[in-house]
Structures are given as C-alpha cells and as structure tokens.
Amino acid sequence: MFEIWGWLWDWLHQIPVIGSKIGPVLLIGWATYLVLLGGWIVLQKREPVATLSWLLGLALLPYVGFAIYHLLGPQKIQRQRLRRARSRLEGDALGNAVCSAACSPEALELAKLAQAATGLAPTTARDVRLLIDGAAKYDALIDDIGRAQHHVHLEYYIFTPDRSGTALRDALVACAGRGVRVRLLLDAIGSGKCSRGFLAPLIDAGAELAWFHPTRFWKFWSRPWLNMRTHRKIVVIDNLVAYTGGINITDDENERLRSDAYRDLHLRIEGDTVRALQLVFAEDWVYVTGERDFISDIARTLPEPVPGAISAQVLTSGPDSSWEAIHRLHVSLIHGARERVWLVTPYFVPGEAAMMALTSAALGGLDVRLVVPRMSDSRLVTLAARSYYDDLLAAGVKIYEYGPRMLHTKALLVDDASVIVGSANFDHRSFRLNFEVSVLFQDRDLGERMTKLIEGEFASAPRVRADRRRPLFGTRLPEALARLMSPLL
C-alpha cells in the first residue's frame, strides 16, 4: 500500500504544475474540496451507486465535476412555505376529502399508505373519462374552459406557442375577458419557448402567470434547480372539473396536426377528487408566488362533498419528499397483484425495488406485461430500458414495443380494478427528481376500459422475443453503457 502511494506521489510530481511551488497548494485545495463536498454528499444517504458516481466524478473532474454537480446534482427543497400552505388549506374545505364506503380492505390499506406518504386524503370521483390522444383532450378542455364561471387553474410542464398552444391561449383570453380568474403555472424549462409576446394577450386580459423554478445562472451562489422540474399536468375549473395525465400543450401531441404525434392518455374527472387536485395546484402556486389570498376565495366556491362510486387517491411526489409516494404505490400494487400486472410507460428505467416487484410477480405465475415505445424521444433512455429486458424475459414478463408513433401513455393496471394514470414515467427522474402527480383508482368499470385500451395497443406493439439478434457492439455494449447512467436519468 505504501509503495502505491509512493509511486502516485512521484507520478504527480512529474506534472509541471504540481511539481512547482504551487503544486502542494493545489493538492491541499483539491483534497479539502473533495473531503468537504464529498462528506456532504455522503451525509445525504442516497443510493450507494449514485453516491459513488458523484464522488468519482468530483474526484476526477475537480472543477468541471463541481459545475455539473452544482447544476444537476441531487437537491432537496425545503418547501416550508408549501407546508404552511397545506396546513392552512387543510383547515379549509379544500382539505376535507371523503373516502368511499365501498372501498375494499386492500384499497383502504393502499389509501392509508398513500395518505401517509403524500398528506392527501383518499377521495372519490363521480365520473372519469379516458381521453385518448391530444385532440380529444384539447377539445374537451377548451369546451370546459368556455363554460367556466369562477376560475381556471392550469399547471403544465410543456406549453408551446404553436397551433395547439395558441388555441388554448385564445380560449383562456376569452375566459379571462369574461371576468373568470385564470392562473397559469408553467415550468420555466419545459415551457421555455413561450415568449413574453405570445403570453401578452393573456396577461392583458387579466390572467395571472407564474414560472416554476426559473433559472438564474447569474446568481452563481445559489443552485439553479435546473434538474428539478414540475412535470405535472393539472387543470381545475370551478372546483367541478379537473384534468390530469400525460398530455402537454403542444402540436407534438395533436394527431390532427401531425401524423407522428405522440400516443398518449389523459383524464377528465368530476367529483370530490377535483378538490384534491385543486389542493396540489394551490400548494404549487403558493410555493412559486407566495400568494395565499386566493385560497379563501376558492374555498367559497366548493360544492358540498358527495361521495362518488369510484374510489380515487391523488398521488404526488417530488424532491421535497423522500417517501417517493408514486414509486412506492406502484411497487405496493404490483406486490399485491393476484392475476395480472400491465404497465405502459414511455421511459422504463426501474430501480431495484421495482425490478424485484415485476420479476417476482412474473415468477409467481401472474400475467405481467410491459408496453414501451419502440424508440422513445431519448435514445439513451431507450437503450437503458432495453438493458433490463433479459432479466424481465427470463422471469416471464411479456414485453411489447409500440410503434410507429412515440408512446407517451403512463398507466398501470393491476388485476381488474386497480388503475394508476398520471404524469409519472417509470424511471428515476419521475420518481425522485420531478414534481409529479398521478391518480390511483379502484373501480372495475374503469379497469375494464383500461383493459380494452391496452389490449388495443398490442396490435401496434410487436412482442419482444428472447432469441432476438443482439450483436455485441451494435446492441449489448451500448445498452450496458447506457445502463450505467440509469441512476442519473
């Protein structure tokens, strides 16, 4: 050991800069930087693989590595204002959700888990519509906005100034012109194409606009939260109707305008579940703007709670919580499956717990199916996803690759009645870095509709064969290298 250190010391002294008088100063500075920052990373108690990856990067790239960590490294948000807002909201009618008396013991157990992890109470819905693809979602949304009387709240990751975005903006302008309060919360990165000029008519009509985590690189002393986005898609209209799911506002998801538009799924919800989604939006709005005065005004328009027939639980997750509620509920549902597990996701980069759940279900004889895009909009993610195929296929999981359009649906169907639909992909980014929202339903009718929807996708999703051709340099090596990036994707 001492011989190795002696050889390393001699080698370092052969480098001109280090061998000079400033060399020891640089070495001491490098060691101090590595110990202090590395110690702070270790104390965060994250997954060992991710922690070691960051430590190695910081050691080998002392300056570049620090810049990368400053921009993209793991962060926790102390959302004290948000927590205070939730405490206040729970004292109002917004927090008084109800649970269906028809919930099964298994559903109640999941509801308790979800409530403990998110702080949101279980609730019910009277009506849930599955909106397949963007055109159906945009038509329904614009129609409901046209009937709004009190307020329209919107939160989106992507809002682009194209034909689809312009149509929605114009509908909101007309809505605000009638005196309806319009609040629009956009992610500063995902909706970065929305210029001040494009949104000016909306602001001039009296709407309120806020940006989630705008980047301020000139404030170099403050971390820019570049890697922590709101990936949520939420619309709440008059406390009566809510929309959520995977469809953003963009021509990329409008099949009327593009033949290669994403294949996607969204929800239109009526019932008491709306107030839970209202609460999620309100917390995000308060977190970004600090404004709380609108809460009491919203609460006055709440209808009396009326239990619906569909048991529902709104799930939220983000870097402000270490419980990974959406991830946890996915894994819990899969472990509790008795007959089948059908998972549809555009990005499949599972952690150890999720892989264990899926393979255990398949090894136990359950009908486990995974539907992913043949080629997603990220080649790196596609390669990383395929690196998991061998283990899944060996356990008995049936894998289907959807094409030719990009599959963007995010849904989980377990047995006949358990359904999760939302904004969260089945990957590390959605489970840990992004602010996401999904809804867990317990309803046989909705389960039947999801079954027909997923079965219909199989026609455009050839099944992956275990004996498929996989050359070393063309397939296996790129997949293995992409998998190394899994904790960071």
Q: Which of 130-144, 164-178, 306-320, 438-452 has the lowest mean pLDDT?
A: 306-320
Report pLDDT for 27.
64
Catalytic residue among 233, 266, 327, 330: 233
Neighbours of 153 (CB within 10 A): 25
Q: Is 219 a catalytic residue?
A: no
State pTM to two decimals.
0.85
Neighbours of 477 (CB within 10 A): 12
Write the pLDDT tens digit of every residue in 76-124: 665 544 554 554 454 444 554 444 444 566 677 888 888 888 889 999 9
Angle in degrees, 0-180, between the axes of helices 64-72 and 48-60, rounded to the nearest 10: 140
- Could you give phi then psi for residue 417, rounded to 5 degrees? -135, -15
Rounded to whole angstroms, the Cα distance separating 264 from 243 reads 14
Q: Is 408 a catalytic residue?
A: yes
Q: Is 452 a catalytic residue?
A: no
Catalytic residue among 137, 151, 153, 231: 231
Spans of all domains in the chain: 2-72, 80-103+122-309, 325-488
Catalytic residue among 264, 415, 427, 443: 415
Catalytic residue among 408, 427, 428, 443: 408
Catalytic residue among 410, 427, 428, 443: 410
Q: How does strand 348-349 pair with strand 426-427?
A: parallel
Q: Which residues have a Cβ under 8 Å from the Cβ of 128 and sit 6 or more positions away?
A: 267, 268, 269, 270, 310, 312, 441, 443, 446
Per-residue pLDDT band for 11 (boundaries 50, 70, 90) equals low
Report pLDDT for 4.
54
Per-residue pLDDT band for 320 (boundaries 50, 70, 90) equals confident
Neighbours of 181 (CB within 10 A): 17
* Intrachain domains 80-103+122-309 and 325-488 with the same fold: yes
Q: Is 443 a catalytic residue?
A: no
Rounded (5°) CA angle 339-331-407: 80
Please name the residue ranges forming H helices in 15-162. Answer: 16-19, 23-43, 48-60, 64-72, 80-90, 105-118, 134-146
Instruction: Write the DSSP symbol of residue 473.
Output: I
Report pLDDT for 451.
98
What's the CATH number for 80-103+122-309?
Answer: 3.30.870.10
Which CATH number does the domain 325-488 belong to among 3.40.50.300, 3.90.78.10, 3.30.870.10, 3.40.50.1390? 3.30.870.10
Report pLDDT for 166.
98
Rounded to whole angstroms, the Cα distance separating 431 from 436 reads 8
